[in-house]
Structure 1
Amino acid sequence: MCWSLAAALVVVFTLIGTSLTGPTGMGNATFQRGDQMAMIGLGVLGALGVLLFTRPRVEADAQGVRVQNVIGSYDVPWEEVRAVRFNRGSAWATLELHDEEQVTMLALQAVDKERAVAGVRALRALHSAHQPSSAPARQSEPA
């Protein structure tokens, strides 16, 4: 969706920019070559802004989870993660850390429905598999 929108922005702004020629009929306003290039440049900047929304990712392994959002990224070891949360009504999933901070994961959004739920379940499974287990209770040995 973002790639299509970005391409459409460039095309539309290029068409607008190239159609701006000569006097406008509104006073003495005229468009120069620089004005046309500026319109095309605005289309390219708008397309780049839209493409930022293709950046969110979540990757997890035995060491921890790497979250890449639209702006900013986080590398969190499993020892720092208290819980993987995806509350009812939340727009996206979050990592709840032991120091009371939260890291939002824009790659796991509610609009993705079952795909997001499967991703959260996989993260929870990895999280529980890499938590330090409590020490087993010592059994008394017969004498």
Structure 2
Amino acid sequence: MTSADRLFMFHPRSIAIMASVMGFSLIALFGVIWTQFDDGTRETFSWFQRLTLLAFFGAILLLLYRMATVRVTAYADRLQIRNVFKSYTLPWSDVSALRFRSGDAWLQLFDAEGNRIGVLAIQAAEGGRASKAAKELAAVARAHGAGPKPTPEN
């Protein structure tokens, strides 16, 4: 898919900025601390301890990267949601409702089975920008067949 196929995309700026600043700060802090150790202190770290430290900082940086890249993208045939720990791809026919009420931390999506999925990309911390995005996404969703499905009557 090219960006021309994309109908709508939104990602929060505040989270991306915060995660980026924290990631670069962590790298700088780790680098400064390590370079301030004298050779004798550095030599006391075994290879296993060094790998453990790198794995720990790597996991934190991966988490910050995922936070910085949360987004929601709409295409003509589907909606893609990238949250911190999980990503979702739903055809429009599986989207029954989008709700972003006052006091909600982020947009709530309800699928055809009644499951609720938090869309972390559209969050209240973004203020008016998020409200506008929620309305735009709802309009795209309605235009592509999302919404409550009629229930068969007996």
Residues 86-97 of structure 1 aligned to structure 2 (within 5 Å): 86-97=100-111
**Which residue of structure 1 lines up, in the alignment, with residue 6 of structure 2?**
none
Greater fraction helix:
2
SS at match of 1:31: helix
| In structure 1, distance between residues paired with 2:140 and 2:44 | 55
1:130 and 2:144 are equivalent in the alignment = yes
Q: Kindly name which structure, 1 or 2, has the bigger radius of gyration based on alpha carbons.
A: 1
How far the C-alpha of 1:5 sits from its partner, in A, is 1.8
Question: Are the structure 2 counterparts of residues 34 and 4 from structure 1 closer, same or farther at C-alpha, using a change threshold of 3 Å?
Answer: farther
**Which residue of structure 1 lines up, in the alignment, with residue 114 of structure 2?**
100
Query: Would the aligned equivalents of 1:9 and 1:44 in 2 still touch at CA under 8 Å?
Result: no
**Which residue of structure 1 lines up, in the alignment, with residue 32 of structure 2?**
15
**Which residue of structure 2 lines up, in the alignment, with residue 5 of structure 1?**
22
Q: CA RMSD in A?
A: 2.6
| Partner residue of 1:121 out of 135, 142, 151 | 135
| Partner residue of 2:64 out of 50, 60, 84 | 50
Query: Would the aligned equivalents of 2:106 and 2:119 in 1 still touch at CA under 8 Å?
Result: yes
Question: Are the structure 2 counterparts of residues 11 and 19 from structure 1 closer, same or farther at C-alpha, using a change threshold of 3 Å?
Answer: same
Residues 5-84 of structure 1 aligned to structure 2 (within 5 Å): 5-21=22-38, 31-33=41-43, 35=45, 38=50, 41=54, 42-84=56-98
Q: TM-score, normalised by structure 1?
A: 0.75
| In structure 2, distance between residues paired with 1:123 and 1:46 | 31
| In structure 1, distance between residues paired with 2:77 and 2:103 | 30
The number of equivalent residue pairs is 126
Query: Would the aligned equivalents of 1:94 and 1:102 in 2 still touch at CA under 8 Å?
Result: yes
Question: More displaced, 43-52 or 82-91?
Answer: 43-52
Query: Would the aligned equivalents of 2:66 and 2:83 in 1 still touch at CA under 8 Å?
Result: no
| Aligned-partner residue type, residue 35 of structure 1 | F
| In structure 2, distance between residues paired with 1:21 and 1:9 | 21
Give identity over the alignment, percent. Answer: 26
Q: Which runs of 5+ in 1 are unaligned?
A: 23-29, 135-143
- The higher-RCO structure (CA 8 Å, 6+ apart) is 2
How far the C-alpha of 1:31 sits from its partner, in A, is 2.3
Question: Are the structure 2 counterparts of residues 10 and 86 from structure 1 closer, same or farther at C-alpha, using a change threshold of 3 Å?
Answer: same
